[in-house]
Amino acid sequence: MRFLGNIEAKADSKGRVFLPAGFRKVLQASGEDQIVMRKDVFQDCLVLYPESVWNEQVDMLRSKLNRWNKQHQQIYRQFVSDVELVNLDASGRMLIPRRYQQLVGITQEVRFLGVGDTIEIWAGGKDSKPFMDAEDFGKALEELMVEDPLTTQPLSRPSDPLSP
């Protein structure tokens, strides 16, 4: 399951918004009925997890935590308790609860971003900053792509056959 795209939409006065058709098709093709919504841990956006992806994330987190460690229990509790189960109505709309709208600054305009196996919802408008500056992005991507992921050492670059 892979969500791709950057789609702008508008929420109505009750906080209902249409999930973009392309994203709905991916969910339907994967047989996903439930979506889990939570605020992102790091940024001011909401994350929609198809139920199977959510379950994988929760299982992975649980496997890294000790049930008998107080801080681990607090981390787990906080991660799994502040969520909403989302259902789409027959028209493909979903409700963004008021508390989530307030947490991430959603008024009317929203932006859906397909981010692999999840969907992010950002407040629309000029204040929304889901992306890096283009130059910073290029530099960061270059650094990531030239490192060996096993050793974090720079990979040897293939020599240019045209250079002397």
Angle 116-21-85 from CA coordinates, rounded to 5°: 65
Question: Average of pLDDT values for 128-140?
Answer: 69
Whether the pTM exceeds 0.85: the reply is no
pLDDT score recorded for residue 145: 80
pLDDT score recorded for residue 130: 66
Q: Which of 20, 51, 106, 39 is nearest to 78 (CA)?
A: 39
Enumerate residues 6+ apart whose C-beta is below 8 A from 111. Answer: 6, 7, 8, 9, 121, 122, 123, 124, 128, 130
The structure tokens listed for 35 are: 């979506």
Kind plus residue range of the DSSP H or E element containing 57? helix 51-64
> Is the pLDDT higher at 133 or at 117?
117
Amino acid (1-letter code) at residue 95: L
Determine contact, residues 112/32, Cβ cutoff 8 Å. no
Determine contact, residues 121/45, Cβ cutoff 8 Å. yes
Alpha carbon of 163 to those of 137, 142, 157, 160: distances in Å? 28, 21, 13, 5
Per residue in 44-103, pLDDT tens?
899 999 999 999 999 999 999 999 999 999 999 999 988 999 989 988 999 999 999 999
pLDDT score recorded for residue 162: 55
Domains located in the chain, CATH noted: 3-128 (3.40.1550.20)
Which residues are bridge partners to 112 per DSSP? 7, 121
> Is the pLDDT higher at 101 or at 154?
101
Asked whether the predicted pLDDT for residue 154 surpasses 70, the reply is no
pLDDT score recorded for residue 139: 74
pLDDT score recorded for residue 1: 83
Per residue in 104-131, pLDDT tens?
999 889 999 999 999 999 998 755 676 6
Least confident of 77-91, 127-141, 144-158: 144-158
